[in-house]
Amino acid sequence: MSEKRRGGRSPAEVAQAGAAALGGPSEGSPPAPRKPRGKARPLAAHAAPLEQAAPMVRAQPPGRKPRAAEPAVSQFAMAIAASSPAPDHAPEAPPPPAPVREQPAPAPVAAAPVPVPPPSPAAPKASPPEAGAAAAPRAASPSPPAPVATAAEPAFRLPDPNLVSRTMADVAERGQRIVAEFLRRQGKADAPPNPDPLNIGGAFLEMTTRLMANPARLMQAQIGFWQDYLTLWQNTARRMMGGQPEPVIAERRGDKRFKDDAWRENEVFDFIKQSYLLSSRYFTNVVHGAEGLTPKTAQKVDFYTRQFVDAMSPTNFWLTNPEVLRKTAETGGENLLKGLSNLLADLERGHGKLRIHMTDESKFTIGENIAVTPGKVVYRNALMELIQYSPTTETALKRPLLILPPWINKFYILDLRPKNSFVRWAVSQGHTVFVCSWVNPDETLAEMGFDDYMRLGPYEALEAIEKATGERQVNAIGYCLGGTLLASTLAHMARRGDDRIASATFFTTMLDFEEAGELGVFIDEEQLQALELKMSQRGFLEGSEMADTFNMLRANDLIWSFVVQNYLLGQEPFPFDLLFWNGDSTRMPAKMHSFYLRRMYQQNDLVKPGAVVLDGEALDLRDIKLPTYILATREDHIAPWKSSYRATQIFSGPVRFVLAASGHIAGVVNPPDSGKYSHWVATVDAPTDPAAWFEQATEFAGSWWPDWQRWITAQDRSTVPARVPGAGGLPALEDAPGSYVKVMAGD
């Protein structure tokens, strides 16, 4: 037996995949390391291979005709067992027993995998019993027979009856509470539930109509599908006869769902996998083949077809997942009972709505092992706390650095851990760093608009920074939605002749929303009306609903992998800091969120001169003439890099565009010491076509952070003595990371 690793993904690997799907760091740092995962055990660790073991039979009473042998397990279970590795040291076959001497009252020998001993020379000559048949008693005896223990354990065992009883009682009690809570919430709703909240019925109806208009093309696709399927049947038959045919279809490179060796080495599961992949390809090709659809409709149909295809993966069902079947056999089904308990816990957390647990949240505390860079809150208003971080150098750059993070999530994505904290690194480079920590709004802030975020965010932060440091001009960074706010603020300041922001940096920011990626699937009039109705009832958009939207963009890694881990394998989530941050979502005020979705995503008004008016000023992004540094990431699924690139054609000042490898988070949070990824820089003026820019760009290994530091210091190299929070014109209110960041969405 080779030492190749068997089994599917561990909880840590599932967490890593989830983090990678978020565009997050590829390595986690859990607070307490777990024991290394050992090799997967076979279904019966001490059983002989099923194809060699004697059939399982029942012992017969004396004098009764032996019954026909009964198979120990079904062919499907045999396939599962065959997919399990043998023990490192296979047990040796038991030696044949010594010849049996005649005794006055011998006990009958039970039929078992133990080899039948040869007859004693003293015994009458008789034919040996057939394999698997019960041995006849050697002599009549008035005492009850005492069966001999078998040498092999059964492949499957039943769960502990007490555990089953306790679990079922717990399920009944908790299930009643969940249903009662669900009905209570339904009764409080001001409007009946929308049967099609995602507005996909019309899109699929149009797609079906277009397909039926060309039956020949549909028939051709069907014929091709059946030809591939027949080839798969033939190849499977050849494999079962010892052949090694090439697969008809293979999973995509990097598809972690089929990591278990059984998907390749076992004929049954290989057939199931390829059947699924063929069906997936067929559905996808048919959808792509629908002619005459608008780009918006085609994108929506394609997106939700992929959601269906991902959900139907055989890895998501316990009867067709070899790893789950092995676990079920090993634990006697206790993994499924534990998974049911996990499912109920997640339904309880969501008050009747499923909220999948992605990480062990109990292992993290904000301010203790998350967001721990030293600093002080020096200013607070109804919408944000302003944090000034403590210096680690004797001198600092003259211009303070103001960071505007997005308020869809918490700011500490830039301060997760000391070793990957952009905030800590910027402080070490001599920056006096200020960060806006946004409040997690409730219904009292329902009327907060985008202009309120501008006025109470960057504008009041600039005033506070000047009081705290005495400096009028700052360098500013905007991340994602924070970058959209920064650009809007710069255009507003340009209208008023305000030059307090001397340079601007944009992290993965969209200003032109014409090609907004797959998030555009959720933006149409019907969905916006339904969303606005929901927000009008509560005053905000619940953070979990926004998180669900982003998770759907990477469903296999951010939804289904955790369904398998938590509910089918019955495992506890692995502690992972990035997934903790991802689950720490924030609410969105109704007025602001409606404005953002309609004016930015749906109508793309921000790039139209004068179309957006904030606080009395009509915005024109062409008025932005200060130096700008634009960072995009190549695999960004939230702010596609080619959309971010369009800002280079909008601003009127000098622009440096840098493209980083990886995604929306890992491409940004990539410290120099990690030695990971790369980035591209072009020294020529940015051409109109982003593909042309990429052809001229030069790739550099490692982090882009040093490139940004060289650029920012080139704007102004003046230094001053390092500034201590609270020692200037603003007193320290409390220690970083403050109070606002600790308010969870469920509080």
Q: Which residues are annotated as catalytic?
A: 480
**Long-range CB pairs of 486-490, under 8 A, 24+ apart, other chains included:** 486/404, 486/458, 487/511, 487/606, 487/621, 487/624, 487/647, 488/450, 488/454, 488/606, 488/612, 488/614, 488/619, 489/454, 489/457, 489/458, 489/459, 490/623, 490/624, 490/626
Residue 603, classed as helix, strand or coil, is coil
Residue 282, classed as helix, strand or coil, is helix
Output b/e per residue, 356-385; b: 16+ Cβ within 10 A: bbbbbeebbebeebbbbbebbbbbbeebbb
Q: How far apart are CA 227 and CA 247, in angstroms?
A: 14
DSSP for 429-468, written as a single string: TT--EEEEEE----GGGTT--HHHHHIIIIIHHHHHHHHH
Q: How far apart are CA 137 and CA 107, in angstroms?
A: 7
**CB atoms < 10 A from the CB of 500, how many?**
17
Beta strands 540-541 and 474-479 are: unpaired
**CB atoms < 10 A from the CB of 99, how many?**
12
R_g (Cα) of the chain, nearest Å: 33
Residue 306, classed as helix, strand or coil, is helix
Q: How far apart are CA 491 and CA 613, in angstroms?
A: 10
Beta strands 433-438 and 401-404 are: parallel
Q: What is the sign of the dihedral through the CA atoms of 18, 24, 27 and 29?
A: negative
Q: How far apart are CA 567 and CA 556, in angstroms?
A: 15
Query: Which residues have C-beta within 8 Å of that of residue 94, sequence separation ≥ 6?
Result: 114, 115, 151
Q: How far apart are CA 178 and CA 181, in angstroms?
A: 5
Nearest to 390 by CA among 402, 403, 377, 374: 374
Nearest to 499 by CA among 403, 400, 618, 626: 626
Beta strands 401-404 and 474-479 are: parallel
- Dihedral, CA of residue 663, residue 669, residue 670 and residue 671, to nearest 10: 180
* Residues forming a β-bridge with 385: 380, 437
Q: What is the sign of the dihedral through the CA atoms of 264, 268, 269 and 272?
A: positive
The tokens for 244 are: 């090694």
Residue 238, classed as helix, strand or coil, is helix
- CA-CA distances (angstroms) from residue 730 to 280, 400, 467? 61, 15, 6
Q: How far apart are CA 154 and CA 43, in angstroms?
A: 9
The tokens for 192 are: 């009946």
